[in-house]
Amino acid sequence: MFEHDLFGEPLHTFPDLALAFRHLLQTFYLTGDEFTRPFDGAFYCERIFFELYFGMTTESVFAFVDACAGDAPIEELIEQFKRVILGYGFDASACGAWHGVGEQRSTRFFFVDWPENVIQLYAEQNLERRDPLVFAARRRMTPFVWDEVYSDPHLPAESKALYQFAYDHGWVDGLCVPVHGPAGYQGLVSMLARSKLALSPGERGRLELAARSIHEACRHTLGFGVSPEPVPVMTARELECMKWVAVGKSDWEIAQVLDISESTVHFHVENAKKKLKKSTRTEAVALLVMHGLM
């Protein structure tokens, strides 16, 4: 049994045998110019070890989901999530969400398991704005891997270029789980790997279950995405006018359709905007859609 890593650090200082094994393997680096990250063979062994150590990954996922439904501290659940996904080959992760529309839109990272310098660069360069994974999460309902996004013909060039940012920091593959909720709530759980992975449908399903569980645990703990104000009560005529606004009709055109005066249409549209606290018709329509009123 190993007692020290290659640099002489005692392994018993690590609180978990699996984490000690991971640390031991991460000391095996190739020194040639061709390689700048841990040896792939060591990473593969690490994954196999975790599968065995945690009683195979299926059982670890179900145990984790049960823990998320309990009263364990969120910090403990996040650490458990990291251990679970490592069993599938992912050594880094991030979880966050965005909510609201217009000036009321807010973004929140629940946790980010990246090196500090990567987090700093991501924030300083405002990379969320062109992050290809965020782009895809807003348009997809089911989990996706990096290659599926890269081949998307609708992916902006500036977002595609961001893949190099990940490659430069040693990540070459990832699985992402998008989350969608009421009132425009959107979230994402991203898992990163340093080698190409071939996940089976069953593995993707189990990882999706784990990802959705940790996301909801974080969201619930922080109370993020819960609207502080009740949905405004709209009259039938206000909603009717706004539905026609949503398809691009002018006040005059709506008046012709509803057989009312143009000034009456304008009155109802402006009243709807006032109730929704929005200055433009576009934002008012977006908020009505997010609240499920149209």
DSSP string, 8-56: --BGGGSSSHHHHHHHHHTT-B--STT--SB-HHHHHHHHHHHHHHTT-
Mean pLDDT of 126-153: 89
Q: Where are the beta strands (DSSP E) in 70-137?
A: 92-99, 106-112
**Which has the closest alpha carbon to 82: 67, 94, 97, 69?**
94
Note the pLDDT of residue 1.
Answer: 38
pLDDT digits (tens, 9 = 90+) for 102-128: 666 778 899 999 988 888 888 888 888
The band of 230, judged by pLDDT with boundaries at 50, 70 and 90, is confident
Note the pLDDT of residue 44.
Answer: 52
pTM higher than 0.75? no
pLDDT digits (tens, 9 = 90+) for 180-225: 987 778 999 999 999 998 888 989 999 999 999 999 999 999 888 7
User: Highest mean pLDDT range out of 19-28, 55-64, 94-103, 176-185?
Assistant: 176-185
Q: What's the CA dihedral at 215, 221, 222, 227 to 10 degrees?
A: 90
Under 8 Å CB-to-CB from 143, ≥6 apart: which residues? 175, 176, 177, 178, 204, 207, 208, 211
Cα–Cα distance, 290 to 139 (Å, whole number): 15
Quickly list DSSP for 119-161. Answer: HHHHHHTTGGGG-HHHHHHTT-SS-EEHHHHHT-TTS-HHHHT
pLDDT digits (tens, 9 = 90+) for 232-279: 889 999 999 999 999 999 999 999 999 999 999 999 999 999 998 888
